[in-house]
Structure 1
């Protein structure tokens, strides 16, 4: 008898469901799987956008819109399922339980036990740092789920505004891998474009340069770092230690880069940096390095795009290149 693909598929689904029921995930395991599923969707989006970047400009625009709509549909479906799975473990987004559930998710991400126990000694500084990072990640996860409930995709609107801004200037976006290194990879892409070949620095070398510059010019960055990272009730004498830990994360992890790191990059490279956005006013950094009549790679500005709603994950940077390059 010939094999019946439909029966096989249904049988596989039943087996998969039974296995899922037998193997109950912990919250930590579920969050880890959710991150992997989100990363897989990001990879799929990158591949689809690459495939769509062919044909005439009109064809590319139509294909890009179709890709955005399809990824938005898949992303919404994925986040809804993930929210349902979290709800089964008791972590819903209801108003009454939201704060307690968020706190537990934060602790799970940070590697801190969520079981009830007698309060012990004051948490160590390292635990505080992990919980603060986890708090940011959990808040980001929560924000993602809230955004997915919107009927109109903020990302689609943002992309359309950015495209309307860049197209008349003769520029387009070169998609950068969303792996936490996007700022540094985007700058690396710009430097490669300026040199007409490979970049003089890899994204990892750029990270190390930024960390070294921030350490050397700590007093220039500490006021801004303090305003964003000062924990309630924490003594100021720990500021230097926390700033050093921050610099260490820049050079040795996939920590996302922001305004502090951009400020360091413009001085490290002695480059004018232009950041275009479809959600906020454009930003210029390092105007003192902006070239006038000079020509050549050293006089070119670094041009990036800032995406508030990229991949349904929040902040992301891409490289802005001449349309003729694509």
Structure 2
């Protein structure tokens, strides 16, 4: 027989009481985690489900270990997990399924050579199966979003434009230098590569020398919205020259077009192409041939902001893959 403690409860009763309390506390944590998850934020929802599964598994293992220790010290202890299991973390519908499973198992005669699986183990197996199904549903929803989300739609649109011009995408790393990297790749196609840092330096010098032309088009740094003063404009040019955090945009594209004396055409998924430096169209020649630098502009390539890629003539073996690169753009 088990010892009776000072509070009048046996060790088994104390353990059952404590385990029930722990499960109720976990139930509160689970509800709080579910409330913290936004149904539109699939990444957060997945993290919450994984955290809930981890907490439930840890508690199951901890309580199972404590039960085994008590059973080892008291031969009269029966399956305490049946009593503790009266506190469930599942929904009413899931509890009904669990009860039905338990009833079927209880009605089945136990084999002499096969040990009956405890209710606690059945709950763990059921919870693991449910978690697996949840993860599969999340993965399916994410896959559908990848095919029909803004990035995929934009990628297919740009892919059609490139295909109609017998071009294909050339991906540029998203390291803060994408605009300059795309321009440098375009120059490399005709053997005129200059390097990202050289292009940044040329852009900054042109901006410094033509402050009056570019200042009105640069977004103010101050919250007041006032135009940049001379010192702030100088700081802006310094960042263009030296900092990867200074991403390039239309101002920098215009400056590069002026410096290189070449038109720059920017293709996009929605809206017509943007062409800068049209005044250089008749006079721009690289190796004796008229030349226009062509970039693609992606609004939805990354969560942090816009992105520029380059293009190249389409290779024959890539015809069947048109547009696919854009769907998986820099994953």
Q: What does residue range 1-326 of structure 1 map to in structure 2 within 5 Å? A: 151=145, 152-195=148-191, 199-225=192-218, 228-229=219-220, 231-233=222-224, 239-254=229-244, 255-291=246-282, 296=287, 299-324=290-315
Asked whether the equivalents of residues 182 and 308 of structure 2 are also in contact (C-alpha less than 8 Å), the reply is yes
| In 2: Cα distance, 1:303 partner to 1:314 partner | 20
| In 2: Cα distance, 1:311 partner to 1:235 partner | 30
- Which entry has the higher C-alpha Rg, 1 or 2? 2
Asked whether the equivalents of residues 166 and 172 of structure 1 are also in contact (C-alpha less than 8 Å), the reply is yes
The TM-score, its normalising length taken from structure 1, stands at: 0.50
Change (3 A) 1:82 1:314: farther
Change (3 A) 1:83 1:204: farther
Asked whether the equivalents of residues 303 and 320 of structure 1 are also in contact (C-alpha less than 8 Å), the reply is yes
Q: Size of the alignment, in residue pairs? A: 183
What is the deviation of 1:298? 6.3
Aligned to 1:23: none
Partner secondary structure for residue 320 of structure 1? strand
Q: Which string of whole-angstrom CA distances, capped at 9 and with x for unpartnered residues, describes residues 68-87 of structure 1?
A: xxxxxxxx865766899xxx
Choose 294-303 or 201-210, whichever is displaced more.
294-303
| In 2: Cα distance, 1:83 partner to 1:184 partner | 40
| In 1: Cα distance, 2:42 partner to 2:281 partner | 45
Change (3 A) 1:80 1:191: farther
Unaligned runs of 5+ in 2: 1-40, 50-141, 319-331
Asked whether the equivalents of residues 262 and 284 of structure 2 are also in contact (C-alpha less than 8 Å), the reply is no
The CA RMSD over aligned residues, in Å, is 3.1
Q: Which string of whole-angstrom CA distances, capped at 9 and with x for unpartnered residues, describes residues 154-185 of structure 1?
A: 00000101111110110111001110100000
Q: Which string of whole-angstrom CA distances, capped at 9 and with x for unpartnered residues, describes residues 250-290 of structure 1?
A: 11111210011001000010001010001332100000111
Q: Answer 1 or 2: which has greater helix percent.
A: 1
Q: Which string of whole-angstrom CA distances, capped at 9 and with x for unpartnered residues, describes residues 104-147 of structure 1?
A: xxxxxxxxxxxxxxxxxxxxxxxxxxxxxxxxxxxxxxxxxxxx
Change (3 A) 1:182 1:288: same
